[in-house]
Each structure stands twice: as C-alpha cells, then as structure tokens.
Amino acid sequence: MRGYVAQYYWAVRSILRDKPQLRKCLARCRHCGILFFTHPRNAGRDDLGCPFGCRQAHRKQSAKQRSFEFYRSDAGKIKKRYLNERRSQRQSESASIENRFGGQEDPVAAEIERHLQMVISFIEACRVALQQIHELVTEILRQRSIEIGGKLFYDTGCGQKTPP
C-alpha cells in the first residue's frame, strides 16, 4: 500500500509541476489526510472527503446515525412496526432481488472514475468522456505488473541461460 501512495504523490507532484494553476484545486481529506484534486468551485474548503472511500464511508455513517435517531423516536417506532408487518405479509421473490442488486457496479469504483474524469479534464483542458475513463481504468487493470527484483534464469539446453 505504501508503494501505491508514493506513486500517487509522485503523480500529483508531476501534475503540479506541469500545471501550477491546479495547486488551488488541491485539497486534503478531512478523514484520512490524503491530498487529492477537487473541483475549482470547492477550492479552499477544508471539510471535504477524498473520493477514495472516505466520502462514502462518512455518508454511510451519517445515514446510519440519522436512521438510528429516527427509529428511536415515536414516529419512527410506528413506521418501523408498519414496515415489519408489511414485510411479514409479503412473500419474498428471489428473482426481483437478483434484478435489483445484480446489475449494480461498485459505488466506490464509480466515484473514483468520476473523480478521474474531472481531474483529467482539468489537466488536459478539455472535456473527457466517462466512457474513455472507464476504458482507461479497465486497460490498466488488465495489464500485468512489472516484477521488481531478480528473475530466475533457466537452462535452455544450448549452454546459455535465458530469462523466463
């Protein structure tokens, strides 16, 4: 993980070296502290969460807290009782559940792709389509990583050793 963070910060520094006007768009996540690029309209804000998971985690925790407080109130208890009765009367259909949740993509990955779209659009100074970002990400994920370290050589039988 430490190597990925170092590569990420190297990329951020190289972008800022080439495009110093984007320095105002650099923000620090209030949860994990990582630097990330934000939209210029959010420049200068210090209450932002990074698009790498903190934003979703905070949103989920806030929703859980709101729900907890609501269902402890009198109106929430009445509504929860009603929902429980309705659920017990209804038969569950596995096909509808599969249709509802089967086609969804990972929300964190989608958020990162939207963030990459915004950052690359600013760097390139033109609008980049979300489909192009999706293709770029899938291409990167399909590539094999370069192994760091010594490789073992094997004997081909010709008296010389060749890399695998």
The pLDDT > 70 percentage for the chain reads 76
The pLDDT, as a whole number, for residue 94 is 45
The pLDDT, as a whole number, for residue 146 is 59
Range 61-86 average pLDDT: 89
Q: Nearest-5° angle of CA 128, CA 133, CA 139?
A: 140
pTM passes above 0.85: no
For residue 81, which amino acid is it?
R
Range 67-83 average pLDDT: 90
Phi (first) and psi of residue 161, to 5 degrees: -100, 140
154 pLDDT tier (thresholds 50, 70, 90): very low
Q: What is the DSSP letter of 43?
A: T
CB count within 10 Å of CB 104 equals 8
DSSP-derived pairing of the beta strands 161-162 and 26-28: unpaired
* pLDDT tens profile 13-56: 888 898 888 888 888 888 888 888 888 888 888 888 888 888 88
* Domain ranges, ordered by start, for the chain: 53-97
Q: Over the chain, what is the mean pLDDT? A: 77
Q: Which two tokens stand for residue 72?
A: 């402890």
